[in-house]
A and B are shown apart, each in its own frame.
Chain A
Amino acid sequence: MLQLEGVSAAYGGMAALHAMSLQVAKGEIIAVLGANGAGKSTLLKAIAGQVERRGAIRFDGADITRLPAHRIARLGINLVPEGRRLFPRLSVEANLRLGAYARRGEAGRFAPLDQVFALFPRLRERLAQRAETLSGGEQQMLAIGRGLMTQPRLLMLDEPSQGLMPKLVDDIFDAIRRIRDLGMTVLLVEQRLVEALAIADRAYVVQTGRIVLAGAASDIAADGAVRRAYLGM
């Protein structure tokens, strides 16, 4: 579904990714792991078209390397950004609507709302509230819900567990699994390695802008030497 070949990315001339290659197949959950500043977020932004990038990025066989961000979003790739980036002063409902508007065409625009409420019933109760008044967990639910409203085929999540208490972290990871079961493909950047490896099919480990390890999530989780060498766990 998604192929990256020799993708480099830079922030204002500072290289952040070096010739990265990875594949994501339809229906997979792929985890991208690594320390702070390793380039995980940059990788997602490069796919979403939000940073300068070179190399080849293909989505369903089509080259999207040079497309602007809004065109990539319309192809069905959605990035739920780090720190959620909700519209704080808009209502929960307006935030969800803005997700829905990312799709072209009126028909069925608000159809995913049922899915979102099924995953996160709490959001239904909070519809009229401003996003900034939600708890941290609810905000993350809204960020993911807004992403789902775009009806993505590939959902990219940048550290969805950040700043959440353990109980909520489990809920979020559970929701990610259910999202995959709904037929979406998930590319997940995480610092919570155990939980991420538990739900992922495969994983890539990133260090200083390079992929240093790739494999089945269960193998990486089981291999003590690998875990100590690359993941410090």
Chain B
Amino acid sequence: MLRRRRRRLLAGGVALLLLALLPLPIGDVYTLNLLILTLLYVGLSQAWNILGGYCGQISLGHALYFGAGAYVSTLLYLHLGLPPSLGLFAGGLVAAVLALAVGWPCFRLSGHYYAIATIVVAVIFYLLALNADFLGGASGVYIPFKGDSWVALQFRTSKLPFVYLALAYAALVWLLAWIMEGTRAGFYWRAVKDDPIAARSLAVRVLPSKLVAAGLSGFATGVGGAIYAQYVGYIDPDSVLAMPLSILIALPAVLGGVGTLWGPLLGAALLIPLSELSRSYLGGSGHGVDLMLYGGLIMLVALWRPEGLLGLFARRGGAGTHAGTA
């Protein structure tokens, strides 16, 4: 078991190294932009995976935590001058608190009811933000550029710093998932997901267990939102709080394999470039062809590989991807 865990960590290190070398030969800005977004979604989807995958609580409201991270770090920067390199932790903390506040009542609901509740809560906050003047309302907030800086996390002359920032983010969230896989809390999550009643009879406290997952997931999502805000330099409710974003955060993990270390990476590596390319080639037609393609892909996976694309590589009847042997 320990050997398998160490092997995964090693594989993670190799993947990190390869990804770190990947952008070096890439010169054009469009491809680098795609790489940054993909890496951000690797991290975001892994963050979602902690709650939705390992713990089995399907949240369709993660845009709320993403938006909270984005707004908190941005407003702290604009009004109090707190540099975003610190502000992203504040954003993560606020997102974590929100995730706990949403989870505490909503975790009493099961299955679909929980998922619907998370949508509703996130949409309420989206509407509130649209009408909140101190958040810039519907017109959003610009982040003024004050020169390249790792403290303010602003870079104009090159996209490379953002590539590595996004890579570091994705790697750290992956590491968080790897660590949690081997802890008692991580085993509790999988037990709660598989059979909450059996878990309870083994002294697992189901609600606290879900709350730990929600807090970590919310924190990591919020940090991602803060990084995104600095990358784009402008946020409004539609770009950081809207419902489609919640779906986009969840999809890579679902496509790649829920509750697995590699699912979010695999899913994001396929989905994000696909969605960007189909949007630029097909989106202009105005008929939403890109979204149809996207939806069709999800349906195919749901029909043929409900455990995600990683299921293609799993040994039949063996440890499997969900086995949680860690």
Contacts and interface: CB of A to CB of B under 8 A. Distances in A.
Interface stretch (B81-89, B228-236, B316-324): B316-324
A93 B1 CA distance: 9
B191 A102 contact: no
Interface stretch (A13-21, A82-90, A169-177): A82-90
A90 to B, nearest CB: 5
A69 interface: yes
A58 interface: no
Contacts of B204: 70, 98, 101-102
Contacts of B318: 128-130
B320 to A, nearest CB: 6
A89 to B, nearest CB: 5
A20 B204 CA distance: 28
B195 to A, nearest CB: 6
B107 interface: no
A130 B318 CA distance: 7
Interface in A150-170: 150
B315 to A, nearest CB: 10
Contacts of B201: 48, 50, 69, 73, 78-79, 81, 85
Given A87-B195, A89-B194, A73 B319 contact: no
B195 A74 contact: no
A26 interface: no
Interface in A37-77: 48, 50, 69-70, 73-74
A129 B317 contact: yes
A85 B190 contact: no
A164 B320 CA distance: 27
A146 B201 CA distance: 11
B200 A94 contact: no
29 contacts: A69-B201, A85-B195, A85-B198, A87-B191, A87-B195, A87-B198, A88-B195, A89-B322, A89-B324, A90-B191, A90-B194, A90-B322, A91-B323, A94-B187, A94-B323, A94-B324, A98-B191, A98-B204, A99-B202, A101-B187, A101-B188, A101-B202, A101-B204, A128-B318, A128-B319, A128-B323, A129-B319, A129-B323, A146-B202
- Identify the 5 closest CB pairs spanning chains A and B, nearest first: A73-B203, A85-B198, A102-B203, A87-B194, A91-B325
